[in-house]
Amino acid sequence: MPDASGHHHLELGKGIIIRNPLAAIAIPATTCALATALYAFLAHSGDALFYRLWYYTPAAALAGAFTASRLLERPHGKARWLIDLLVAAICLARPLTGQPPISGHAWFCIHALLTCSHPLTRSLALLVTGITLYAKIILWHSDTTLWPGLIAGLLSGWAWRKSHPAKPKTKTTPPS
């Protein structure tokens, strides 16, 4: 959120303010990645651990950066927040329930690429897109959830960009 001088900063709570724009994105991204890695180490071992580290941890970093970007770049308007919440809910449902048959990684990466302006967030989105494409095409032999995820990301990103916040109506008086 911009301060009085027009610089962006992230307020994390009572008196905790991050004024450096890079740190405001990097700290939440790193925190989410570390939390995911810690969960993977505590709850899994072997191949399951390795899979969560290389596939889910970078996506968690993107989620942290995405959230921080949204908080830095506000206001967005209700329509944009609803689109983001819908994307987040469906993308999180995928690893938790296996449904819908759409790649949550692909959807979220493309949505973030199309809607976030911070270079670190966009870089993480590109990195996770590359990981996702490699996994879905090479490792998993053209996983059928990839294309629906990419298309959903394009559609949600397009809808987000088209839904501008409503401008406040100003009362104008005709010239005398």
Q: Report long-range pairs for 79-87 (Cβ below 8 Å, ≥24 apart).
A: 79/163, 79/165, 80/160, 80/163, 80/165, 83/156, 83/159, 83/160, 83/163, 84/115, 84/160, 86/156, 87/111, 87/156
> pLDDT of 84-105, one tens digit each?
999 999 999 988 888 889 999 9
The region of weakest confidence among 19-33, 99-113, 138-152 is: 19-33
> pLDDT of 14-53, one tens digit each?
655 667 788 889 999 999 999 999 999 999 999 999 999 9
